[in-house]
Amino acid sequence: MSAPDQRPNKARTVPERPSLEGLEAKWDAVWEAEGTYRFDRRRDRAEVYAIDTPPPTVSGSLHLGTVFGYVQFDSIARFRRMCGKEVFFPVGWDDNGLPTERRVQNHYGVRCDPTLPYQPGLVVDPQPDGRRPVARRTFIELCEALTAEDERTFEQVFRDVGLSVAWELTYTTINERSRRVAQRAFLRNLARNEAYPSEAPTMWDVDFQTAVAQAEMEDRPTTGAYHRLAFHRADRSVVEIDTTRPELLAACVAVVVHPSDARWRELVGTEVTTPLFGVPVPVVTHDLADPEKGTGAAMICTFGDSTDVVWWRELDLPLRSVVQRDGRLQAERPEWLTSEAAARAWDALGGRTTKAARSAIAELLAAAGELVGEPRPIEHEVKYYERGDRPLEIVTSRQWYIRNGARDPQRRGALLEAGRALSWHPEFMRVRYEHWVGGLNGDWLISRQRYFGVPFPVWYPLDAEGNVAHDEPIPADEASLPIDPQSEPPPGYTEAQRGQPGGFVGDPDVMDTWATSSLSPEIACAWEDDPDLFSRTFPMDLRPQGPEIIRTWLFSTVLRSQLEHASLPWTDVSINGWILDPDRKKMSKSKGNVITPTALVAEHGADGLRYWACRGAPGTDTAVDPAQMRVGRRLSIKILNASKFVLSMAAAGGQVTEPLDRSMLARLASVVTAATAAFEAYQYHQALDVTESFFWSFCDDYLELVKSRAYGEAAGPAGPTESARAALALALSTLLRLLAPFLPFVTEEVWSWWQDGSVHRAAWPGADELGGGADDDDPVLLDVVAEALAAVRRTKTAEKRSLRAPVARLEIVDTPARLAAVRAAEGDLRQAGNVGELVLVEGTDPSIVVELAPEVA
């Protein structure tokens, strides 16, 4: 595997002044040339560790949070690789979908106009403030060009931070294989009746002009106002109704009250008329009507919110739609507004945005004496598309859905069971999945009325009059995928029949980005395209991801896998925490507190950045902390210097005979055991902690104690010097391998000074390598001696003397066992502390008395 010629420092020398400068570029180039992280597809499934990595959204700059999460599971990947697994570590770029479209619109100053003809070779210069219309195909070309550029930048960041990615496996969510996989999976869903089209009320973003799925909505506190409207009974008496959306009054189809609400009992079953428009509407009852809200009577409009949809559907009410897809009330007067007063009122409302219409109708109502009191401002939660700026409206449209268990208890139960079968890290994240599955209120809406995405691979026949037969979709042939129904005809038709009576039209929509990325295991593992690779990688081992996309990416991946393969897509899920800025606020672009990974690598080094990330526990929010990165950098420098020192003495192969050396190795063996157990439990931060602690005490105590002996003249193959030198070699080799998953650059650098090949392909250390198991190896021995040494240092510091200052007399009172430990390392202790007389006294009251020699002038 390795190509030694590529390796710098093949002479294996220790540099005079080791440095961290330039290690990132140097080792990235070597790893690339040697294929250190390349995936060996000859290995079978049991030998592979496959990671379903989260494709970062390609929309400008790479978020530090992405790097944070990636570094964490990269440490796990590196651990598994060193344990002998062949790690399947692809990266995907999520360049498919709305974020890309928006970035292209802003970057080039264009908008997509699908009615324009395509002009091949058209060059579009960026024009920041423009909104120039371009053809659909030109728009897609711009998306492809810009994402390709961004992806190169992203890859460089990932290389700079030392991710052990198998770059040859890279995919994008819009590339040919992804389109083919997404279309194939959809066609199979369609054939099994798991996907279906439906014309129904849907949540609609009026700016993006597309339908939006439940998973992409969020509530935002929004200022509104209760308007108390005067509806009228037949006897002209008033029924007061509160609404926050008076502009939808024309869309009112009924008034609803709770069946048990005595206040309205005699009204139920009668009709009241709407203010201003005089339209008669029935008074109906429904359990969802809340007597506590407003006056207890609500107007039902088609549609103001999702409760309206429920009422409309369950109470079988008529449809009176007035809001258009652009978020404006229709200009044309609705046919059910028949009175002259109603027509006049509509003149003031039609064509206006809902927001403008709201204040306009409030004025009309007030002028007509139909507004009771003043509007009362309130702050309430309103649904938005998570990327949108204006509240969602509800419009009726034709969309594609995938059955997700919302309307099928059996499927919902199976999905909950899948959540229980997964291993979650940390465990408590599982409930988020369960809540989401339990709370699903509709099938998954996967179609978007956009351009840069995977097209639906279907067409519709046109009848003799040119009407579209939506109920008879013509599916594409699987062998033809990926296809674009806008530019290719369906089987059995010619392109000339497009749009002609008796011909066909292509489905104009594209799939939501989650409909593609929910298939990331199938895309990465080359489902159907490469059955051999698929059999070696699927189902995968680990899905690492952020907590905010449990309801989208995680859930939808489980769903698609269950539908397609009747299996889980992976066995383990690891959820990382948030990145918080130093004020403990979630970092986000809109808050302007984003720090770029590149700047941090430049300042603290990749290993410094990685150290900080790996200190964050799985699922735990972590503050961006440059101080921690400095600590990581300092640790890296210490590794360079300590290693240089150790290598000036170390010699592998000798017998480790001295009790102090064996004690150190015994302690190190317990560190190996603990770090291994932590990694296996996905607790990488604990592995780092236990290793780092040992490393510092190794430097501060063991190296100080042993250096004189190790420097000494060789005293035969089994002598004390050989023992020290062999122990140092063993310890350094072990420590470098323990630290390699966290600090890949500095450990590789040091490894290259004295070892062949990459530390990242070296075997993970085992406790047995360290001569563990011997009963007389007491890890406490080192502690006892280190305590005595610390006491010596403490005295010298207190006396303001140099640490080299001679100790005339050192008296230690302790138990026989601990005195024996000191005696076993007496020579090392005297050398390290520059101790003259050493007196060991048995006693029950332990003490250490240090008498310094007088200072010589």
Partner RNA sequence: GGGCGCUUAGCUCAGUUGGUUAGAGCGCAGCCUUCACACGGCUGAGGUCGUGGGUUCGAGUCCCGCAGCGCCCACCA
Q: Name the residue nearer to RNA (CB basis): 291 or 766.
A: 291
| Best CA proximity match to 254, nearest among 209, 285, 295 | 285
How near is the Cβ of 328 to RNA at its closest, in Å? 21
Q: Are 273 and 232 in contact (CB under 8 A)?
A: yes
DSSP line for 147-179: HHHHHHHHHHHHHHTT----GGG-EETTSHHHH
Asked if residue 625 binds RNA (CB under 7 A), the reply is yes
Which of 467, 494, 797, 815 forms a contact with RNA (CB under 7 A)?
797
Q: Name the residue nearer to RNA (CB basis): 119 or 797.
A: 797
Asked if residue 155 binds RNA (CB under 7 A), the reply is no
Asked if residue 285 binds RNA (CB under 7 A), the reply is no
User: Six-digit token pair at 87?
Assistant: 């790690």
How near is the Cβ of 548 to RNA at its closest, in Å? 5
Stretch of 31-39, 427-435, 480-488, 776-784 contacting RNA, by CB under 7 A: 427-435
Q: Name the residue nearer to RNA (CB basis): 267 or 289.
A: 289
Which of 439, 499, 717, 816 forms a contact with RNA (CB under 7 A)?
439
Q: Which of residues 12-51 bind RNA (CB under 7 A)?
A: 19-20
Helix (H) / strand (E) containing 132: strand 132-134
Stretch of 120-128, 375-383, 715-723, 752-760 contacting RNA, by CB under 7 A: 375-383
How near is the Cβ of 286 to RNA at its closest, in Å? 8
Stretch of 192-200, 282-290, 662-670, 712-720 contacting RNA, by CB under 7 A: 282-290
Which of 235, 410, 428, 856 forms a contact with RNA (CB under 7 A)?
428
Q: Which of residues 199-218 bind RNA (CB under 7 A)?
A: 214-215, 217-218
Asked if residue 617 binds RNA (CB under 7 A), the reply is yes
Q: Are 49 and 85 in contact (CB under 8 A)?
A: yes
Which of 97, 162, 197, 296 forms a contact with RNA (CB under 7 A)?
296
**Binding-residue total with RNA (CB under 7 A):** 88
Q: Name the residue nearer to RNA (CB basis): 143 or 257.
A: 257
Which of 135, 238, 366, 382 forms a contact with RNA (CB under 7 A)?
382
Cα separation, 853 vs 808, whole angstroms: 5
Asked if residue 256 binds RNA (CB under 7 A), the reply is yes
Beta strands in 41-104 (DSSP E): 48-50, 86-88, 92-93
Q: Name the residue nearer to RNA (CB basis): 627 or 652.
A: 627
Asked if residue 236 binds RNA (CB under 7 A), the reply is no
Asked if residue 293 binds RNA (CB under 7 A), the reply is yes
Q: Which of residues 688-747 bind RNA (CB under 7 A)?
A: 689, 693, 696, 699-700, 703-704
Which of 247, 305, 564, 777 forms a contact with RNA (CB under 7 A)?
305
Asked if residue 830 binds RNA (CB under 7 A), the reply is no
How near is the Cβ of 243 to RNA at its closest, in Å? 4
Q: Output the CA–CA distances (angstroms, integers) from residue 46 to 236, 538, 682, 846, in the order listed.
A: 79, 11, 19, 55
Q: Name the residue nearer to RNA (CB basis): 329 or 646.
A: 646
Residue 195 forms beta bridges with which residues? 402
Asked if residue 637 binds RNA (CB under 7 A), the reply is yes
| Best CA proximity match to 166, nearest among 87, 79, 278 | 87
- Give the single-character DSSP code of 391: B
Cα separation, 443 vs 37, whole angstroms: 41
How near is the Cβ of 800 to RNA at its closest, in Å? 4
Beta strands in 163-279 (DSSP E): 171-172, 195-205, 210-211, 217-232, 238-243, 252-257, 271-273
How near is the Cβ of 652 to RNA at its closest, in Å? 19
**Residues comprising the chain, all counted:** 857
How near is the Cβ of 793 to RNA at its closest, in Å? 4
Which of 176, 290, 347, 472 forms a contact with RNA (CB under 7 A)?
290
Stretch of 91-99, 113-121, 556-564, 625-633 contacting RNA, by CB under 7 A: 625-633
Residue 762 has, within 13 A of its CA and on its CB side, a CA count of 23
Residue whose structure tokens are 């465990």: 427
Which of 133, 294, 539, 806 forms a contact with RNA (CB under 7 A)?
294
How near is the Cβ of 415 to RNA at its closest, in Å? 15
Stretch of 319-327, 534-542, 768-776, 792-800 contacting RNA, by CB under 7 A: 792-800
In the stretch 519-558, what mask flags binding to RNA with x, by CB under 7 A?
----------------------------xx--x-------
Residue 806: cis peptide before it, omega within 30 degrees of 0 = no
Asked if residue 622 binds RNA (CB under 7 A), the reply is yes
Q: What is the per-residue burial (b if ≥16 Cβ within 10 Å, else e) of 99-123?
A: bbbebbbebbbbebeeeeeeeeeee
User: Six-digit token pair at 373?
Assistant: 């009191």
The dihedral through the CA atoms of 578, 582, 585, 586 has a sign that is negative
- Give the single-character DSSP code of 477: P
Helix (H/G/I), strand (E/B), else coil: 254: strand
| Best CA proximity match to 79, nearest among 671, 741, 625, 619 | 741
Asked if residue 633 binds RNA (CB under 7 A), the reply is yes
Stretch of 296-304, 446-454, 555-563, 713-721 contacting RNA, by CB under 7 A: 296-304
Three-state secondary structure string covering 437-462: HHHCCCCEECEECCCCCCECCEEEEE
Which of 72, 75, 243, 545 forms a contact with RNA (CB under 7 A)?
243
Helix (H/G/I), strand (E/B), else coil: 578: coil
How near is the Cβ of 160 to RNA at its closest, in Å? 18
Which of 112, 182, 299, 568 forms a contact with RNA (CB under 7 A)?
299
Asked if residue 432 binds RNA (CB under 7 A), the reply is yes
Stretch of 362-370, 475-483, 641-649, 762-770 contacting RNA, by CB under 7 A: 641-649
Residue whose structure tokens are 């970035």: 103
β-pair type (393-402, 298-301): unpaired
Q: In degrees rounded to 5, what are phi and psi of residue 161?
A: -95, 5
Asked if residue 580 binds RNA (CB under 7 A), the reply is yes
Asked if residue 192 binds RNA (CB under 7 A), the reply is no
User: Six-digit token pair at 401?
Assistant: 């859905």
Asked if residue 586 binds RNA (CB under 7 A), the reply is yes
Q: Are 96 and 451 in contact (CB under 8 A)?
A: no
Q: Are 465 and 501 in contact (CB under 8 A)?
A: yes
Q: Output the CA–CA distances (angstroms, integers) from residue 501 to 458, 463, 464, in the order listed.
A: 18, 6, 5
Asked if residue 811 binds RNA (CB under 7 A), the reply is no
Stretch of 109-117, 239-247, 530-538, 817-825 contacting RNA, by CB under 7 A: 239-247
Q: Are 196 and 456 in contact (CB under 8 A)?
A: no
| Best CA proximity match to 455, nearest among 479, 439, 432, 476 | 476
How near is the Cβ of 500 to RNA at its closest, in Å? 43
How near is the Cβ of 645 to RNA at its closest, in Å? 3
Cα separation, 440 vs 74, whole angstroms: 33
Asked if residue 683 binds RNA (CB under 7 A), the reply is yes
Q: Which of residues 489-518 bind RNA (CB under 7 A)?
A: none
Say which residues have a Cβ less than 8 Å from residue 368's Cβ, sequence separation at least 6: 275, 276
Which of 776, 800, 845, 856 forms a contact with RNA (CB under 7 A)?
800
How near is the Cβ of 311 to RNA at its closest, in Å? 8
Q: Name the residue nearer to RNA (CB basis): 65 or 490.
A: 65
Q: In degrees rounded to 5, what are phi and psi of residue 474?
A: -100, 110
Q: Name the residue nearer to RNA (CB basis): 116 or 699.
A: 699
- Give the single-character DSSP code of 224: E
Which of 80, 333, 383, 411 forms a contact with RNA (CB under 7 A)?
383
Beta strands in 386-425 (DSSP E): 393-402, 423-425
